[in-house]
Structure 1
Amino acid sequence: MNITISEKLKQMVPEFKVGTIHYHDITVAEPPKMLAGRLQLFQESLMLDADDQPISEIQPIQEWRQIFKKVGTDPSRYRPSSEALLRRVYKGSQLGSIHSAVDTNNFFSLQYQIPLGIYDVSKLSGDVLVDIGTQEDSYEGINGRELDMSGKILTKDDKGAFGSPIVDSKRSMVTEETKHALHVVYFQPSLPDEEANEMLHAIGKMFIQVHGGSSEYKIIK
């Protein structure tokens, strides 16, 4: 599977880059107590820090809001998924557990304050392109709503759009049947490549500790 960024997106956001992690032979299940406890404690810590670190002062989230504006997405109407998660936590709403893969994904999104998407490779077809959507692009999100992807950053394969830094699609979602998965990490543009590599290594290492299997990662820009 080849993963690239479209020339249109590169022209609009020259510093744009993503990280990808491919997982093989994983086991997705109910989250282990270690992960559940860590996620709960982290959410409680964030709630305590809410007054000292408002959304407007969190650099990765503000950078992603600026990216949305550059490509024509209103970040107040369509929030980056990391911001949407953090706002829920700040309001005192604990994130419900889905399964180990989604819970791990949410943990990293809160920790690094950037959007991440995780997809079942068996449900994807052909190569993957990170692009800006047109009027022809839409999908049913994991929230059950039909999402118009026109003017929004998305990931697409031969079948069409399946993910974005807003919300991912039902078609590509990871389940407890998933054995091979693709993690897409939407870095904030200011993050140096060295730190981006360290982040990918840390994400992949913890994910494999929870799910078993193996992984490899790379930066795409």
Structure 2
Amino acid sequence: MSIPEIIVESEIQQAFPQFKMGYLVSPVAVSETGNGLNAKMTKVLEDIGQRMDAETIRNLSTVKATKEGYKALGKDPNRYRPAAESLLRRVSKGKGLYQVNNVVDCLNLVSVETGLSICGYDLDKIDGIIRLGVGQSEEPYEGIGRGLLNIEKLPVFRDSKGAFGTPTSDSVRTLIDKNTRHVLMMLPSFDGNVPALEAALDNLKKYLLEFVGETHPEIKVK
């Protein structure tokens, strides 16, 4: 599989000249999360719960960079938290992570390990060229588990059908489910932290190979 054409719009490039993004594409066999991944998640979540609180999460360089990116675009990052921060806050309160399926759980695991908000999609549900821009007023968007979401001034991924992803919440339209056969994961870094992106992609690839069937991940940073 090859990484599809993805265009970072000028409004993002001008606001963040240092902007970089990590990409992963892979065939997958989606299933319920197995014992091996469950054990790995339990260990990581226990560690996070012991050493992190709201302040330490907020001060993680990866979380801070995303929130500063939101501020620069005019969005309140405390009302519309990046997904990684929301997940980490949940874990720090002892609530664990939602269990979805083996692919999404790998994604969420790497997100809490790194503080990077990882956007994950069913590649076959995306139509045409992908563009990363800024959300518009009253632009329609249904977030997973959130209903209609106000994406104005959020970083937004779009295809020919409209908005399908943000670092705050993935969309119902392109969600990864039991019928998904190919996935695309995108990791935006507003401060251009290439080492953090490479480490996250390496972990994603490792976990997919270990815990998900029929995978052959391709990764890159651009």
TM-score of Structure 1 vs Structure 2, range by shorter chain? over 0.9
Residue 165 in structure 1 maps to residue 167 in structure 2: yes
Letter in 2 for 1:77: R
TM-score by length of 1: 0.92
Partner Cα separation in structure 1 for residue 54 and residue 86 of structure 2 = 18
Cα distance change of structure 1 residues 202 and 94 upon mapping to structure 2, 3 Å threshold: closer
Name the count of aligned residue pairs.
218
Mapping for residues 42-53 of structure 1, pairs under 5 Å: 42-50=44-52
SS in 2 for 1:138: coil
Report if aligned partners of 2:106, 2:208 keep a CA contact under 8 Å in 1.
Answer: yes
1:68-121 alpha-carbon deviations (Å, 9 max, x no partner): 100111011100100000111111112121111111111000001110011001
Q: Would the alpha carbon gap of residues 43 and 53 (structure 1) be closer, same or farther in structure 2, given more than 3 Å must change?
A: farther
User: Are positions 1:79 and 2:73 aligned together?
Assistant: no
Partner of 1:177: 179
Match of 2:136 in 1: 134
- What is the CA–CA distance in structure 2 between the aligned matches of 1:99 and 1:56, rounded to whole Å? 27
Aligned to 2:15: 12
- CA RMSD between the two structures: 1.8
Q: 2:141 aligns to what SS in structure 1?
A: strand
- What is the CA–CA distance in structure 2 between the aligned matches of 1:39 and 1:58, rounded to whole Å? 20
Greater shift, 98-107 or 43-52, is seen at 43-52
Answer whether contact 2:53 2:89 (CA < 8 A) is retained: no
Q: What percentage of aligned pairs have identical amino acids?
A: 28
Matched, 1:148 2:167: no
| Gaps in structure 2 of 5+ consecutive residues | none
Residue aligning to 1:101? 103
For structure 1, which runs of at least 5 residues remain unmatched after alignment?
none
**Offset of residue 199 of structure 1:** 3.3
Residue 92 of structure 2 is matched in structure 1 by 90
Q: TM-score, normalised to structure 2's length?
A: 0.92
Runs of 4+ off more than 4 Å: none
Q: In structure 2, what is the Cα distance between the partners aligned to 1:36 and 1:157?
A: 34
The aligned counterpart of 1:203 is 204
